[in-house]
């Protein structure tokens, strides 16, 4: 563990702009992958199941992420498979820490994003930045109320993925700590 803040990375949305209008946004490469959580929700033997999930990744993101003054960790439904399938494409270390979700896509009684409470527990009072496409103002309010350390929740458009302005915001926030 270091004294650097955590950077909690979601895959789908920030790294894989699944909502992009272009077939392959500039700088991105397309991959067909079979993450376990996605595969379990597909009809066995179906065309979709055989082809795999289309994932668009930008290899330039890996060096940009590792250059940031953060300790990187996965906060994604891909869990450990992010280290196996996503990290090699981006050039990230294949042993990043992973938040293991006890259940996926559960409904929160207060209307929070289902990851939010687990992120706070996992961060254990450390400063963190979290990039995800489904973060809301409700989550940001909950984090500011229930987490004593600084936190940045950065909602990323699933149409665009991480952009230059997002990297700049992450750099500025870490510098201010």
Strand partners, 8: 73, 130
* pLDDT in the model for residue 2: 67
Q: Which domains does the chain possess?
A: 6-19+57-176 (3.40.50)
pLDDT grade for 96, boundaries at 50, 70 and 90 = very high
Q: Which residue has the higher pLDDT, 52 or 24?
A: 52
* pLDDT in the model for residue 40: 87
* pLDDT in the model for residue 1: 52
β-strand pairing of 29-33 with 53-57: antiparallel
The mean-pLDDT minimum among 21-30, 42-51, 67-76 falls in 21-30
Backbone angles phi, psi at 85, to 5 degrees: -105, -35
Number of helices (H) and strands (E) in the chain: give both, helices first: 8, 6
Question: In Å, what is the CA distance from 77 to each residue of 54, 98, 123, 149?
Answer: 15, 10, 17, 25
- Are 10 and 132 in contact, with CB atoms under 8 Å apart? yes
Supply the mean pLDDT for the chain.
94
- DSSP string of 139-155, one letter each residue: HHHHHHHH-SS-EEEEE
* pLDDT in the model for residue 108: 84
pLDDT tens-digit readout, 102-146: 887 888 888 899 999 999 999 999 999 999 999 999 999 999 999
pLDDT tens-digit readout, 12-28: 999 999 999 877 788 99
- Are 81 and 57 in contact, with CB atoms under 8 Å apart? no
pLDDT grade for 149, boundaries at 50, 70 and 90 = very high
């Amino acid at each position: 563990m270091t004294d650097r803040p955590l950077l909690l990375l979601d895959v789908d949305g920030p790294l894989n702009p699944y909502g992009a209008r272009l077939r392959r946004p500039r700088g991105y490469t397309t991959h067909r992958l079979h993450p376990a959580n996605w595969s379990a929700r597909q009809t066995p033997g179906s065309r979709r199941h055989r082809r795999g999930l289309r994932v668009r990744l930008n290899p330039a993101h890996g060096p940009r992420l590792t250059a940031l003054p953060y300790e990187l960790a996965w906060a994604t439904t891909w869990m450990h498979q992010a280290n196996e399938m996503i990290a090699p494409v981006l050039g990230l270390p294949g042993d990043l820490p992973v938040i293991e979700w006890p259940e996926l896509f559960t409904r929160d009684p207060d209307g929070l994003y289902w990851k939010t409470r687990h992120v706070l527990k996992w961060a254990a009072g450390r400063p963190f930045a979290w990039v995800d496409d489904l973060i809301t103002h409700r989550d940001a309010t909950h984090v500011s109320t229930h987490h004593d350390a600084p936190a940045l929740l950065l909602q990323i458009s699933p149409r665009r993925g991480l952009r230059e302005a997002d990297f700049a915001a992450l750099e500025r926030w870490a510098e201010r700590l």
